[in-house]
């Protein structure tokens, strides 16, 4: 094995530990989600065991990361993201970032939604930012609901029950959505 390959493999252990800690997971929690024993995970993170493709794929699935993210593969010379639209609950969701274990960016097209229908709410770890590109969007946060207009943005902790729906029953709406799986808030500096 060349020194370059050995260096990449040696770099996996601290990267795995850092990703798990950023996610706020214990070895036991990661073990439960991956089906990999705590002792194997511990040896992977300490460098006592060489990673196999099977183990890395299972860990990458939990972190929603690519294998390149786990092994620290060099960035491609082409910075363009080639999104593949997918659909969930009638929404077109277009990923705007490569698989990044820390922040996910999406453009979403929200289908028309009946005005009298409730907004479905969920909760999960993370922090969310929404920016309305076109249309009007209903944002439900627990017992409260507001309507966002084009050019307006909202941010909130996703541990609070939340959901979005189109405020129109006839036209689609478009939003940009950033989701931080770490639950960290964006820090903006005022410019005078």
Are residues 41 and 108 located together in one domain of the fold? Answer: no
CB 49 within 8 A of CB 43: yes
Are residues 92 and 158 located together in one domain of the fold? Answer: yes
Domain span including residue 93? 86-180
- Whole-angstrom distance, CA of residue 41 vs CA of residue 18: 13
- Whole-angstrom distance, CA of residue 130 vs CA of residue 156: 9
Are residues 173 and 116 located together in one domain of the fold? Answer: yes
Q: Cβ contacts of residue 125 below 8 Å, gap of 6+?
A: 24, 158, 159, 181, 183
The pLDDT-based confidence of 130 (bands split at 50, 70, 90) is very high
| Assigned token pair, 15 | 């990267």
- Residue 186 placed within a domain: no
- Whole-angstrom distance, CA of residue 127 vs CA of residue 179: 6
Are residues 106 and 151 located together in one domain of the fold? Answer: yes
The pLDDT-based confidence of 101 (bands split at 50, 70, 90) is low
- Residue 78 placed within a domain: no
- CA geometry: angle 119, 121, 122, nearest 5 deg: 160
Are residues 105 and 144 located together in one domain of the fold? Answer: yes
Are residues 146 and 123 located together in one domain of the fold? Answer: yes
Are residues 63 and 113 located together in one domain of the fold? Answer: no
Q: How far is CA 38 from CA 46, 61, 69, in A?
A: 12, 17, 22
How many domains does the structure of the chain reveal? 2
Are residues 144 and 94 located together in one domain of the fold? Answer: yes
In the predicted model, what is the mean pLDDT of residues 111-118?
92
Residue 190 has pLDDT above 80, yes or no: no
CATH number at residue 96: 2.60.120.10
The tens digit of pLDDT for each residue in 18-77 reads 888 888 889 999 999 999 999 999 999 998 998 888 898 889 888 877 777 787 766 666
In the predicted model, what is the mean pLDDT of residues 171-188?
72
Given this model, what pLDDT does residue 192 score? 43
Given this model, what pLDDT does residue 36 score? 93
- Residue 158 placed within a domain: yes
Are residues 173 and 121 located together in one domain of the fold? Answer: yes
Burial class (CB within 10 angstroms; exposed 0-12, middle 13-18, buried 19+) of 166: buried
Q: How far is CA 49 from CA 32, 36, 83, 99, 163, in A?
A: 19, 13, 35, 26, 42
- Residue 52 placed within a domain: yes
The pLDDT-based confidence of 156 (bands split at 50, 70, 90) is very high
CATH number at residue 63: 1.10.260.40
54: how many CB neighbours lie within 10 A of its CB?
A: 9
In the predicted model, what is the mean pLDDT of residues 110-133?
91
- Whole-angstrom distance, CA of residue 55 vs CA of residue 74: 21
Are residues 67 and 111 located together in one domain of the fold? Answer: no
Residue 184, sorted as left (phi over 0), alpha (psi -120 to 50) or beta, turns out to be: beta
Global confidence as pTM: 0.57
Given this model, what pLDDT does residue 79 score? 67
- Residue 81 placed within a domain: no
Are residues 58 and 94 located together in one domain of the fold? Answer: no
Are residues 98 and 153 located together in one domain of the fold? Answer: yes
In the predicted model, what is the mean pLDDT of residues 156-167?
92
- Residue 117 placed within a domain: yes
CB 166 within 8 A of CB 136: yes
């Amino acid at each position: 094995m060349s020194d370059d390959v050995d260096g990449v493999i040696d770099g996996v252990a601290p990267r795995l530990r850092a990703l798990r800690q950023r996610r706020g997971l214990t070895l036991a929690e990661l073990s439960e989600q991956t089906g990999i024993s705590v002792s194997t995970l511990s040896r992977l993170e300490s460098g006592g065991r060489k990673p196999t493709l099977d183990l890395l794929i299972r860990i990458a699935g939990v972190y929603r990361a690519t294998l390149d993210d786990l092994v620290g593969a060099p960035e491609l010379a082409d910075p363009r993201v080639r999104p593949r639209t997918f659909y969930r609950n009638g929404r077109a969701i277009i990923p705007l970032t490569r698989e990044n274990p820390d922040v996910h960016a999406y453009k979403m097209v929200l289908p028309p939604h009946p005005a009298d229908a409730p907004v479905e709410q969920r909760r999960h770890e993370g922090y969310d930012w929404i920016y309305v590109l076109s249309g009007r969007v209903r944002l439900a946060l627990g017992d409260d609901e507001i309507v966002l207009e084009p050019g307006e943005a909202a941010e909130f902790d996703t541990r609070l029950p939340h959901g979005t729906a189109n405020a129109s029953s006839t036209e689609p709406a478009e939003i940009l959505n950033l989701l931080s799986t770490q639950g960290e808030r964006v820090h903006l500096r005022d410019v005078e």
